[in-house]
Amino acid sequence: MTVHPSGQQFPLRHGTTEAVITEVGAGIRTFRVGDVEVLDGFEADEMCSGGRGQTLLPWANRVADGQYSWQGKDYQLPLSEPLHHNAIHGLTRWASWELIDLRVDRATLRHLLHPQPGWPFPLLCEIAYVVGEGSLSVTTTVTNLGARDCPISAGAHPYLSAGGGLVDECVLEVPGDTLIPVDARGLPTEQRPVAGSEDFRVPRRIGDQVIDVGYGGLRRGADGRTVARLARPDGVVLNLWAGPGYRYLQVFTGDTLPADRRRRGVALEPMTSPANALASGVDLDRLSPGQALSLTWGVSLVPEP
């Protein structure tokens, strides 16, 4: 029996809108509308690279040295980014997720995260995907099954496709009033008002700029959503929106990826907390026993006027 690197494949469709969700990590392998590749995904015979389409639980981004403290006790996570001595992107993105509901245009997957060294908190994780006309929405729900409070930081890692070329000719808009630069290890150094070359509140061309920073102070509409936008040179415009609870967007132009994937898409990553939140405690959510945290984000093709 041949097994795909990303496990079972769950195709979804609504008209000309198609997505493929994977058993491994409950991730998004592809998302397209007609002939338009909305996300920079990966093939069925490939292993997911660069976090493409993965959900990040029970923490997003990095934890310095894999170390954090909770309720007076110190913990050591596996160093899953050994080059920089960090723990990165949680514990569920390489796990098998159970399919609990599958219809033509939607799927829900579930994973029970058991306690393990460095993470003593049992969590029930569910991800629900729904495709609509030109859109994909993702709802992540995490429930604390333990007998004591636990920390949680959630995120997602979609790459908006540059349309077959490089991101250099794309126009980016990010509605963040604060900036969180990172050091050579990908760890935050400060949080300050956005200014200068990192300010994308007014849409502008990316050019040769290298971007790997977090944005906070996200501006929101009346519906509580924040919206980032990528306009491609082929005329396609893509929106990435994140609902209440996602307080940050990490933006990454993919410059450290292998050459064949480098700068082929812009990662717009909704996160509840900035990088290193398990250690710093900045905007870290706390779940009491039995409490659930539910978050929704989505991506869509902006219709032509």
Return d(Cα 151, Cα 284) in angstroms, integer.
Answer: 7
Q: How many CA atoms lie within 13 A of 176 on its CB side?
A: 33
- pLDDT for the residue numbered 149: 98
Beta 54-56 vs 155-157: how paired, if at all? antiparallel
pLDDT digits (tens, 9 = 90+) for 59-100: 999 999 999 999 999 999 999 999 999 999 999 999 999 999
Domains along the chain?
9-301 (2.70.98.10)
> What pLDDT was estimated at residue 1?
73
**Residue range 267-279: mean pLDDT, rounded:** 98
Q: Looking at 253-302, which runs of residues are DSSP E strands?
A: 265-271, 285-287, 292-301
**DSSP H or E segment with residue 172:** strand 171-173
Nearest residue to 238 (alpha-carbon basis) of 177, 178, 167: 167
Q: What is the pLDDT of residues 211-268, one digit of tens each?
A: 999 999 999 999 999 999 999 999 999 999 999 999 999 999 999 999 999 999 999 9
Q: Rounded distance, CA 54 to CA 72, Å? A: 31
How many Cβ atoms sit within 10 Å of the Cβ of residue 278?
Answer: 28
Q: What is the pTM of this model?
A: 0.96
Q: What sign results for the dihedral spanned by CA atoms 236, 136, 102, 7?
A: positive
- At 305 the pLDDT is 57
Three-class secondary structure of residue 65 per DSSP: coil
State the chain's mean pLDDT as an integer. 97
Nearest 5°: CA angle at 151, between 289 and 112? 65
Q: How confident is the model over 93-147, as pLDDT tens digits?
A: 999 999 999 999 999 999 999 999 999 999 999 999 999 999 999 999 999 999 9
Query: Which one is predicted more confidently, 303 or 65?
Result: 65
